[in-house]
Amino acid sequence: MKSQARAAACSILADTPTTLPGRAVQLKPIDSRALEALNGWGDGVHFSWEEIPIWKAKEPWSFDLSIWSGSELCGLCFANPNQSRLRTKIVRLEGKPDNWHPLKNRIAAIAMIAVEQCARKVGSQWLEIQEPAQGAIKVYQELGFQFDPFGRLVVHLEND
């Protein structure tokens, strides 16, 4: 299911060349290669991504994503559906803290495409940003997320 969601997202990205002109994006799991590449990000990393393999083992429905441009790790994402699977929460999302990486300002949009594919496969109706960073709220709103009456930053997944 996870690899199918990543493949579907890659297909969507390949069909939208205006979004990523000339950039070959690879979507992979967060594995030892991704965690090793993360070491090259320096001190600007916001989250402790080393915990993800443990979380993946405990949460079989979780979705992990490393976003690559060629051999450069540009972003990471971890999402997990709630118990009823009606909502999939984006628990962590982070782009490389480098103003010059090839996918700068596109990590959130790429991650949302992939997470949406996975969320649909598990039957979720909503995507939710868990504890959004204050500075990222505008980016999420540009991607269609809004605050619901309960103060959650969500977007409804339209039926195909």
Mean confidence (pLDDT) of the chain? 91
pLDDT band at 155 (very low <50, low <70, confident <90, very high): very high
Contacts 24+ apart (CB under 8 A), 9-14: 9/110, 9/113, 9/114, 9/116, 9/117, 12/113, 12/117, 13/110, 13/113
Give pLDDT, residue 23.
62
Locate the domains of the chain by residue range. Answer: 2-77+91-124
Highest mean pLDDT out of 11-20, 38-47, 105-114: 105-114
DSSP 8-state assignment for residue 23: -
Give pLDDT, residue 99.
86
> Which two structure tokens, joined as six digits, stand for 137?
């709220």
**Cβ(13)–Cβ(109) below 8 Å:** no
Would you say residue 34 has pLDDT above 90? yes
**Cβ(118)–Cβ(79) below 8 Å:** yes
Give the global pTM: 0.92
